[in-house]
Structure 1
Amino acid sequence: MSPTQWDFPVELCCRPMAFVTLTGLDVVYNAVHRAVWDAFCANRRADRVPISFKVLPGDHEYPKCRPKRTSYEWYIPKGILKTGWMNKHLNLVPALVVVFYELDWDEPQWKEKQSECATRVEIVRQSLQGRNTKVAVVLIQKKTPLPPGEDVIASERAAALCNACELSGKSLFVLPHTDHLVGYIIRLENAFYEHAQTYYYTEIRRVKSHKEFLNKTTHQLLFVRHQFKIAFFSELKQDTQNALKNYRTAYNLVHELRAHETNILEIKTMAGFINYKICRLCFQHNTPLDAIAQFRKHIDFCKKKIGSAELSFEHAAWMSKQFQAFGDLFDEAIKLGLTAIQTQNPGFYYQQAAYYAQERKQLAKTLCNHEASVMYPNPDPLETQTGVLDFYGQRSWRQGILSFDLSDPEKEKVGILAIQLKERNVVHSEMIITLLSNAVAQFKKYKCPRMKSHLMVQMGEEYYYAKDYTKALKLLDYVMCDYRSEGWWTLLTSILTTALKCSYLMAQLKDYITYSLELLGRASTLKDDQKSRIEKNLINVLMNESPDPEPDCDILAVKTAQKLWADRISLAGSNIFTIGVQDFVPFVQCKAKFHAPSFHVDVPIQFDIYLKADCPHPIRFSKLCVSFNNQEYNQFCVIEEASKASEVLENLTQGKMCLVPGKTRKLSFKFVAKTEDVGKKIEITSVDLALGNEMGRCVVLNWQGGGGDAASSQEALQAARSFKRRPKLPDNEVHWDSIIIQASTMIISRVPNISVHLRHEPPALTNEMYCLVVTVQSHEKTQIRDVKLTAGLKPGQDANLTQKTHVTLHGTELCDESYPALLTDIPVGDLHPGEQLEKMLYVRCGTVGSRMFLVYVSYLINTAVEEKEIVCKCHKDETVTIETVFPFDVAVKFVSTKFEHLERVYADIPFLLMTDVLSASPWALTIVSSELQLAPSMTTVDQLESQVDNVVLQTGESASECFCLRCPSLGNVEGGVATGHYIISWKRTSAMENIPIISTVITLPHVIVETIPLHVNAELPSFGRVRESLPVKYHLQNKTDLVQDVEISVEPSDAFMFSGLKQIRLPAQAFYTYQYFCQASGSTHG
C-alpha cells in the first residue's frame, strides 16, 4: 500500500469551478484563435468569474452517460463514492460546450457556412450522448457589429442560424476580433457562467429527484452519495452556503452508517473527505471557530474507529493526515487574512499530526516485524485491473463486497500481509520530520519558544532514528542552550545522551568529548554507574583508544562507528582540543578571585583559582594556565604536573592538580606588577585547564574571564536567595557558593611618604599677587629624586575662572593674560630623608568668587618588591579652596561748595567731587597713592593732589578725598557728561616690599550739566561780631551773550540790620557792597 494513499485527492482539495470546453479553436496555427484563447486563460484576475476552460476538438468523445434508472428497488450500491466521479465533473464533463466559428453577417456564401456551423453543433450534441450539458455558438467576426436593431440583415441571419442549430437566441454570441478583445471575452465569460449555473442547478435537481426512490434499509450508502453530489454541484455553482449545508448533512449520514471491520476504512475515508470540505468552507466564510468545532467533533467521532488490529497503523496514518490537512487549511486561511493567536494556531495541528505519525511508526515496527524469509504475495493482492480502486476507502481484493462476513479469510490474510510488508518500506522519519518542521515554523511565527524547542528535540531524535546524525546534532545542539539557560536539567540530560550517541556513531572527537564532559557534570541527572561508564570512555579517548559503544545504538551503525574510530586513532593530526565552557556545564567548575580590588605597585598582586570537580571519581589534570589582558604576566601563573595518560584516574591523593569530587581545590598565585601599568586594570581574560597530555590526546577547558559556565549565574542567584544555613567546614576549606568571582584588579601608585603643607592668608583680594607657600617634606627612608610640582587652578572648573586666574612663581611682576592658570611639572630637585623645601606660588584672581587650587607633587623612588628592584613613581596632591573678595568699596558723590548734595551741576560753576574708600579686606591695606584722571570735558579749579598717600586702612576703615572741579558749557549732552577715572594704588600692609603695587581703576559716574543765565556769588567773611559791622559783597555775572535786565531786592532779617540799596534794577555796576550789623550770636542766615 503506497504511503501516498492517505493524501487527499487533488480534485477534493482544489476549488471547484464550472467546467467549460471550447471547440473550433485552432490555437496552434491560427493567430486569431490563439489570441482568443490567451484572452480566456492568461493572467486571469481574481475578480473574473470562476470558470475552468479547456480547448477540445469538435468531435471529442465525452464520458458516456449511464442509462437513467426508473427504480432503485433491487439496486444494491457497491460503495459510497467512485474514485473518478469528482475528476469527471471537474475536468471531463463540461457544463457548457462552446462552438467557435468564423462567420460574418455579410458572408457571400452564407447558406453553406450556416449549414457547416449547424453540422458542427450537431456533432457536439451527439458526442455528449444525452447529457444536460449546454451548447452555445460564438461567431468570430472581423468587423465590429452595429448596435442591436440597426442591422436588419444581421438580425435575420442570426434568427436563421439559431433555427438551423436548434439554439435559443441566448446561446448565440458574436466576438469581433478588435483591439478590445479582452473586454468582449469578459462579457462572453459572464454569459458562459450563467449557462453553467443553469446546468449545475439542473444536475442538483436531477440528483435530488433520486431520493424519492431510496429507502434507508438498503440504500444508506446512496443517501450519503447523493448528498455529497448535491454539495459538490453546489460548489461548482459557487453556492457555498448551500454546499456547506449539504456537506454537513452528508457528514451526519456517514456516521449513521453501520460500521464494521470490513467497511470502517471506507466510512473514515468519506468522513475525512466531507470534514475537509466543511472546514474549508467554514474558513472561506470567515468562521474559523465553526471550522475548529467541526474538526474536533470529527476527531472525537473517528479516533476510536480503529478497524483491524493487524492494520492499526493505518488508523494512525489516517489520523495524522486529518490533523495535517486541517493545519494546511488553517495556515492557508491565515495567509488570506485570518488572525491566529498563540494558543490557537496551525502549529498545534501539525504537532498532533506528527504525534500520530510517530504512533504509526511504532505500530508498524511492532506489526510489520516479519522474518526476512517472508516474501511479498504473488499475485499482488493490492493490484487492480485498472490500477485504481473503484470506490474510495475499499480494499482492492474485495471491491464492491459489502457483506460484514469475510467470504475468503485466506485472501484477507494475504492482503493484510501485503499491506504490512509495504508499510515496512515506508520512511516514517521523513514524514515525521516534515510535520515537526511545519509545527516549528508556526510556533516560531507565533512566538512560542518552549513549544518550538520541544519539537526541535523531537526532530533531532527523528533524524537520529533516520541515521542522519549530522542534522540530529545540529538541531539538538541548537536547543541545548535554551534548556541550560532555564535549568531544565532532566531534559538537557536526555538531549545530551542522544547527542553523545550521534557524536559516537560519527566518531566526532570534539563533540564526543564535549558532551561527555557535560554528562559527567552537576547538570547531568544520570546515575553514578552511567557517569562512571562515560568517564571511562572519556579517558580511553584521551589515551588515543576507541571508546565503548553507547547503549541502545543500532548494531550496524555501531560497526560502522568502530571503523571510523579506528581510522581516527591511525590518523596523524592535532591531538589538542580547546573547548570553551561558557556555553555549557562541564564537570569542573572554576572561579578566579583577586585578594583585593586594587593593589599598590610596590605590593605583590595575589589571587586564587578555585577548582571543584563533580565527576564520580577523582581525576588528575596536567596543566593550569591563567591569561591576562597584559600577556607579560601569563608566564608567572602556570602550574604543570607531568603525568602519563594512564595516571589520570590513579594516584590521586598527590599533587596540586588532583581534584577530589565535591572538594574545593585552591591554587594561589602572586606576581609583581609593572610600573607602567599604574592606573590600569589587570584583568584575567581566561583560565585554561588541561586534561590528558600531548602524547595521547589533550582537552583544554577554557573559561572566559574569571570562570563560570552556563549554569553559574542561575546557581549564584539561587544561593543569594537561599536562607539555608551552610554546614561548618574545616579551616582549610570554603563553601563553593560563598566564593565570588573577582576577575580584575586595579594597579595604583605606591603610597607616598611625603607631607605637603600649604600656607596662605585668605581670602585673596581681587587682582593682587596672592602668595601661596608650598612646603614639601620627605619622610622616605631613601633619597627621592626627580621631584616635580604641579600647581594652580584645579582643572574642570568654570571656563571663566580659568580665563581670569593666572599663576606664577615670580611675585615681583604682575601677571597678565599670557600667564597660565596651572603650572605643570615644575622641577624642584631631589630630597634626602627628612629634608624639606618651600616653594612660593603667586596667584592673581581677576574676579571674585571661590576657586579650588591643586598642588600635586610627584617623585621617583627605588624600592624592592619580592627581591626585585623597581622604580616607583609616587605622587601626592593637596587641594585648597580660596575665596576672592574685593579689597575695598569706593563711594563717589557730587556736592556744592557748601557741601550740599547735587543731582546735577551747572556750567562754569565750581562743584566738589568727593570719594570715600572703605576697606573690605580682613587684612590691613596700605593705599600707596591715588590719582584723579579727568575726562576732557572736566577741568580742575585748583591743583589735583592725592590726599591719602600711604594711608593704612584696617577692616571697616575708610579714607576720603575732595576735589573742586568745573565743567564748561557743552550744551545739552544726553546721558550726562563723563567725569573721568579714580585710580587707587594699593597693597597689603603685610606684603613684602618686592611685591608689586596693585592699581585699581574706578570709573567715575556721569553727571548732568545745566547752563544758567545769571550767576550770583556772595563774598563775606567767615565770621562776624555782635554789634559790629560785617561787610558782604555780592557778585553778579551774566552768562549769556545778551544784556540782561535784572531786578534785585534785598529782604531784611531778624538777625541782621544792613545798609545799602534795598531794591536795584539792572543793568548796573558789576557788584554791590552791603554793611551788615549782627543782632545775635550763633550761626545765622541773612
Structure 2
Amino acid sequence: MCDYRSEGWWTLLTSILTTALKCAYLMAQLKDYITYSLELLGRASTLKDDQKSRIEKNLINVLMNESPDPEPDCDALAVKTAQKLWADRISLAGSNVFTIGVQDFVPFVQCKAKFHAPSFHVDVPVQLDVYLRADCPHPVRFSRLCVGFNNQEYNQLCVIQEASRASEVLENTTQGRMCLVPGKTRKFLFKFVAKTEDVGKKIEITSVDLVLGHETGRCVVLSWQGGGGDAASSQEALQAARSFRRRPRLPDSEVHWDSVVVQASTMIISRVPNVSVQLRHDPPALTNEMYCLAVTVRSQEKSPIRDVKLTAGLKPGQDANLTQKTQVTLRGTELCDESCPALLTDVPVGDLQPGEQLEKTLYVRCGTVGSRMFLVYVSYLINTTIEDKEIVCKCHKDETVTIETVFPFDVAVKFVSTKFEHLERVYADIPFLLMTDLLSASPWALTIASSELQLAPSMTSVDQPESQLDRVVLQTGESASECFCLRCPAAGTGDGGVATGHYVVSWKRASAAPDIPVVSTVVTLPHVIVESIPLHVNADLPPFGRVRESLPVRYHLQNTTDLVQDVEISVEPSDAFMFSGLKQIRLRILPGTAQEMLYNFYPLMAGCQQLPSLHISLLRFPGFTHQLLRRFIPTSIFVKPQGRLVDDASIAAA
C-alpha cells in the first residue's frame, strides 16, 4: 500500500483499508484495528462523513476498553465469533499502550514542529512550536503531547499533560487546551533553557508523540519522526509550493497549515559578548622583525567577568608554509625561534570589573613575505540569570586582521677593481673590491645597528673589515654602501666560481623600543670566477704631483708562475710629463720573485694628466695584453700648479 500512498491512489487505498478493517475486527486484532481506523479517518480517506463518524465512535470505544460495533456487510456468524473474541481481549490483562509510527501511513492527525530560530544564544530560552491539525469528523481530546530531542535531558521539559477521564476522549465541545477541532490548526509552545555544555552543538527534534486515550482504558501513541510529517506530507508540501491560489485571510490567532514549514533543528551558540577588543599595530610587518601587536580588552558588562583568556596568532586553516614561518610570543626582548608556536592558546589575563580594561602585547615574527590573517580571540566567564535560573556563560569575542609582510631592504652586490671598474672575474692574489648597496624598501625608518662580512675560506681580507654602517638611520628609498678590499689566494677549479661568503646586516625599526632585539639578515654573496695571471704588476706613486717637481713612481713586477719569465718593457712618453728611467728594457724574472722598476716623472702641466704608458710583453704568454695591464696600474694623476715664490721684500712689507 506504500505505492498507493506515494502516488495518491486514495480510492484504491480506501477500499483496501476498509476490507482490512473488517478483517481486523473479525480477528479482534487490536493494533491493526486501531491503525486502519486512524487512516480511514484521515484526509486521504474517500469515505463519507457518516462512515467516518461510525469508525471514529468505534475507535473511541476501543480506547475506552469496550468492544466496537460490528463492521457492515459482515457475516452474522462471523460477527458473533468476533464479539466473543473482543470480549476475551477486553477481559485479558496485558499491555494497553500501542505505539504507532505514522511515517508510513496517513493518520487523521497531522503534526509539524518548528523552532522559532535556526540558532539560540545560551542565555535565551529555546522556543519551539508544535502544530496539530485533526481531520476527523468530530473533535477529539488527547491526554499527552511530548517532544523528544537528541539530548534526552530536554525531553522532560517539553511535555503537555492533562488528567482526563476515559470518557472524555470524544470531546463534545470545542473548548479546552487538549482538544483538537477538525479543520483547525492548534499551536503549542514549548520553552526550555539550554545547557551551557551544549554551546556549539545542534539540538534536533527526534520525535513528537501524541497520546490518545487514558491509562484506565487504552492508550494510542502517535509517534512522528523528526519534526513531523507522514506518508503524504512531502507530496502535499510540493503541491502547496507550486500553487498560486491565494490563501483566505484568517484571524491573528490562527495560521494556515500549508504556511508552516518544519524546522526540526537549531544551534546553541554562546552568549553575545559585551567586551570590546581593539588591536593597535603599525603595518606592514618587516621580514623576521619582532612585530608588535597590542591587544586592548575592555569590559562593558554590568557584572564582573572572570577567567579571561586570550588566544592569538595565525588564524588556522591557512597555508602550511605560513604556519612554519610564523611565530608568536609574549616576550619581546628575545627573538623567536622555531620552538615558538604560530598560535598562542588560552593565555590567562585575569579578571575584569565593569568598565575596566587591560592590555596585552604580542610579538609576531614572520619569516616570509606575503599576507597573513591573524586571529585574536578573547573568552571569559560570567554569571547570568535566565528564567529564574542562574547559569555560568562562557562568552567569546574574536577579531581578525590581515597583515602584509614586506622585505625591509634590498641588497645589491658587485665586484670592482681597485680603480672601481666593473669586474666579470677576478684574478688570483690580486686585490679587488666588494661593494654592497643597501636600499631601504621599508615604509618606516630603519636603524642599521651594524654589518658584518663573513668570508668563505677561499677568500681573505686585505685589511681588517669594519662596519661602515653602525647606527645609520635609513628613511624610505635611501641607500647605504660599503666597500671591502679582498683577495682570493687561488684560482677556482669549477665553472660555478668561488664562494665569497655572507653579508650580515643587523637592524630594527627606528621607532622600536630599546629592549626590542635587532634582527640579523644574512645575505649570501654571489660566487665569483677567479683566474690566474702570469705577471702581477702594481705601482707605488704619490696621491698627486706638482708642476716641475719630481714625481717618483715604482713599478713592481711579480712572476706568479713556476716558469722563468722573459719580459719586454717599454714606456710610451706623454706630452704632460718628462721622465727619467729606462725607456725600453728586456729582463728575466725568476719564478715567485719580483722585479722593481723606478721612474722619475716631471709634470709639465697642471690638472688631471695621463701618465706615460707602460707596455709589457711576455714572450711565454702572448695573451697578456696591454688592456689587461691597465686594470692593475694607474693611468692618470692629478697635478697641482707650481706654488708662488715669496721674496724677502714681500715678507718685510707684510
Say whether the fold is shared (TM-score over 0.5): yes
Q: Deviations over 1:996-1047 (max 9, x none)?
A: 1111122222211111111222333333345555443322222223332111
- Residue 989 (structure 1) aligned with residue 523 (structure 2): no
Q: Does 1:726 align with 2:250?
A: no
RMSD: 1.5
Question: Corresponding residue for 1:660?
Answer: 181
Question: Which residue matches 2:111?
Answer: 590
**2:120 counterpart (593, 599, 616):** 599
Contact 2:270 2:393 survives alignment (8 Å): yes
C-alpha distance after superposition, 1:333-376 (max 9, x if no partner): xxxxxxxxxxxxxxxxxxxxxxxxxxxxxxxxxxxxxxxxxxxx
How far apart are 1:943 and its partner, in Å?
A: 2.0
Query: Percent identity over the alignment?
Result: 86
Aligned counterpart, 2:66: 545
- Matched letter for residue 516 of structure 2: I
Displacement, 1:1061?
2.6
Q: Using a 3 Å threshold, how does the CA distance of structure 1 residues 924 and 1083 change in structure 2: closer, same or farther?
A: farther
> 3-state DSSP class of the match of 2:515?
coil
Do residues 573 (structure 1) and 91 (structure 2) align? no
Write out aligned runs for 1:390-789 (5 A). 480-789=1-310
Looking at structure 2, the residues matched to 495 and 987 of structure 1 have their Cα atoms a distance apart, in angstroms, of: 89
Q: Which residue does 1:824 correspond to in 2?
A: 345
Q: Could you say which residue in structure 1 is the equivalent of 2:537?
A: 1016
Q: Does 1:879 align with 2:373?
A: no
Q: Distance in 1 between matches of 2:430 and 2:596?
A: 18
Q: Distance in 1 between matches of 2:493 and 2:223?
A: 94
Separation in 1, partners of 2:433, 2:269: 69
Q: Matches of 1:796 and 1:1085 in 2, distance apart?
A: 71
> Is the Cα contact below 8 Å between 1:979 and 1:1004 reproduced in 2?
yes
Corresponding position of 2:419: 898
Q: Structure 2 CA distance, aligned partners of 1:649 and 1:753?
A: 54
Task: Call closer, same or farther: CA 1:1003–1:483 in 2, change over 3 Å.
Answer: same
TM superposition shift of 1:932: 1.2
- Post-superposition shift, 1:873? 0.3
CA drift of 1:971 comes to 6.0
Residues 396-428 of structure 1: per-residue CA shift (max 9 Å, x gap):
xxxxxxxxxxxxxxxxxxxxxxxxxxxxxxxxx
Give the letter for the 1:987 counterpart.
K
Say yes or no: does 1:1070 pair with 2:596. yes
Once the two structures are superposed, residues 319-343 of structure 1 have per-residue CA deviations (whole angstroms, 9 ceiling, x without a partner) of xxxxxxxxxxxxxxxxxxxxxxxxx
Write out per-residue CA displacement over residues 28-52 of structure 1, whole angstroms, 9 at most, x where no aligned residue: xxxxxxxxxxxxxxxxxxxxxxxxx
Compared with structure 1, are the counterparts of its residues 526 and 1033 closer, same or farther at alpha carbon in structure 2 (3 Å cutoff)? same
User: 1:653: how far off?
Assistant: 2.9
For the 8 Å contact 1:1057–1:1079, the answer to whether it is kept is no
The 2-side partners of 1:1042 and 1:482 are apart by: 109
Alpha-carbon deviation of 1:494?
A: 0.7
Give the Cα–Cα distance (whole angstroms) in 2 for the partners of residues 609 and 1085 of structure 1. 109
- Whole-Å Cα distance in 2 between the matches of residues 615 and 540 of structure 1? 15
Distance 1:972 1:691 in 2: 100
**Gaps in structure 2 of 5+ consecutive residues:** 590-594, 613-654
Taking the aligned partners of 2:257 and 2:568, their CA distance within structure 1 comes to 118
Distance 1:896 1:838 in 2: 56
Deviation at residue 940 of structure 1 after TM alignment = 1.6
**2:336 corresponds to 1:815:** yes
Any idea what the Cα deviations from partners look like across 1:56-91, whole Å, max 9, x if unmatched? xxxxxxxxxxxxxxxxxxxxxxxxxxxxxxxxxxxx
SS of residue in 1 equivalent to 2:498? coil
- State whether residues 802 and 821 of structure 1, in contact with CA within 8 Å, keep that contact through their aligned partners in structure 2: yes
Deviation (angstroms), 1:634: 1.3
| Aligned residues of 1:1030 and 1:1078 also touching (Cα < 8 A) | no
- Bigger strand share: 2
Counterparts of 2:65 and 2:276 in 1: how far apart (Å)?
Answer: 67
CA contact (8 A) 2:276 2:300 kept: yes
Contact 2:547 2:602 in 1 (8 A): no
CA contact (8 A) 2:579 2:599 kept: no
Q: Secondary structure at the match of 1:731?
A: coil
SS of alignment partner, residue 996 of structure 1: coil
User: 1:209-258: CA deviations, max 9, x gaps?
Assistant: xxxxxxxxxxxxxxxxxxxxxxxxxxxxxxxxxxxxxxxxxxxxxxxxxx
Q: For the structure 1 residues 737 and 508, does the alpha-carbon distance in structure 2 shift closer, same or farther, using more than 3 Å as the test?
A: same
Q: Which amino acid aligns with 2:181?
A: V
Q: Report the CA distance between 1:848 and its aligned residue.
A: 1.6
- Aligned residues of 2:310 and 2:348 also touching (Cα < 8 A): yes
Name the aligned partner's letter for residue 84 of structure 2: K
1:962: how far off? 0.7
Deviation string 1:90-120 (CA, Å, 9 cap, x unpaired) is xxxxxxxxxxxxxxxxxxxxxxxxxxxxxxx
- Tell me how far apart the structure 2 counterparts of residues 505 and 876 of structure 1 sit (CA, whole Å): 69
Q: Secondary structure at the match of 1:512?
A: helix
Tell me: higher relative CO, structure 1 or 2? Use CA pairs within 8 A at least 6 residues apart. Answer: 2
Q: Is the 8 A contact 1:851 1:883 kept in 2?
A: yes
**Post-superposition shift, 1:970?**
4.5
CA distance in 2 between counterparts of 1:760 and 1:999 reads 22
Cα offsets for 1:596-630 (capped at 9, x unmatched): 11000000111111111110111111111111111
Question: Which structure has more helix as a fraction of its residues?
Answer: 1
C-alpha distance after superposition, 1:128-159 (max 9, x if no partner): xxxxxxxxxxxxxxxxxxxxxxxxxxxxxxxx
Q: What's the CA shift for 1:502?
A: 0.8
Q: Normalising by structure 1, what TM-score?
A: 0.55
C-alpha distance in structure 2 between counterparts of 1:508 and 1:496, whole Å:
14
Q: Is the 8 A contact 2:139 2:172 kept in 1?
A: no
Name the counterpart of 2:438. 917
Q: Take 1:504 and 1:728, find their aligned partners in 2: how far apart are those partners? A: 43
Query: Does the aligned pair in 1 maintain the 2:171–2:179 contact within 8 Å?
Result: no
Structure number with bigger Rg: 1
Distance, in Å, in 2 between the alignment partners of 1:742 and 1:653 is 29
The residue number in structure 1 matching 2:620 is: none
TM-score, normalised relative to structure 2: 0.90
Q: Is the 8 Å Cα contact of residues 580 and 599 (structure 2) preserved in structure 1? A: no
CA distance in 2 between counterparts of 1:834 and 1:651 reads 63
Give 3-state SS (helix, strand or coil) of 1:975's partner. coil
2: distance between equivalents of 1:697 and 1:973? 101
**Cα distance in 1, alignment partners of residues 259 and 225 from structure 2:** 20
1:163 paired residue number: none
Counterpart for residue 865 of structure 1: 386
CA contact (8 A) 1:890 1:917 kept: yes
CA distance in 2, matches of 1:786, 1:525: 66
Q: What per-residue deviation string (whole Å, max 9, x for no partner) do you get for residues 675-701 of structure 1? A: 111111111111111111010111111
Residues 1:792 and 2:313 aligned together: yes
Contact 1:1029 1:1078 in 2 (8 A): no
Identify the match of residue 472 of structure 2 among 939, 943, 951: 951
Q: Quote the Cα distance in structure 2 between the aligned partners of 1:996 and 1:835.
A: 32
Q: Is the 8 A contact 1:1026 1:1081 kept in 2?
A: no
The residue identity in structure 2 corresponding to 1:776 is: V
